[in-house]
Amino acid sequence: MNGPSQEMLELARQMMARAHAPYSRFHVGAVLKTDTGKLYGGCNVENAAFPQGLCAEASAIGNMVAGGETVIREVVVMAKGEPLVTPCGGCRQRLREFAREEIPVYVCGPEGLRHTITLGELLPLSFGRDHLNISKA
Higher pLDDT, 1 or 30: 30
pTM more than 0.85: yes
Identified catalytic residue from 10, 46, 57, 111: 57
For residue 137, is it within any domain?
Answer: no
Produce one character per residue of 83-106: b if its CB has 16 or more CB atoms within 10 Å, e if not.
eebbbeeebbebbbebbebebbbb
**CA 108 distance to own-chain centroid:** 11
- H or E element that contains 105: strand 104-109
pLDDT digits (tens, 9 = 90+) for 70-124: 999 999 999 999 999 999 999 999 999 999 999 999 999 999 999 999 999 999 9
What CATH number corresponds to the domain at position 18? 3.40.140.10
For residue 105, is it within any domain?
Answer: yes
For residue 94, is it within any domain?
Answer: yes
- Structural domain containing residue 83: 6-132
Task: Report the pLDDT averaged over residues 20-43.
Answer: 97
- Beta pairing class for 72-79 and 104-109: parallel
pLDDT digits (tens, 9 = 90+) for 12-23: 999 999 999 999
The type of residue at 41 is G
Report whether pLDDT(127) > 90.
no
Residue 57 appears among annotated catalytic residues:
yes
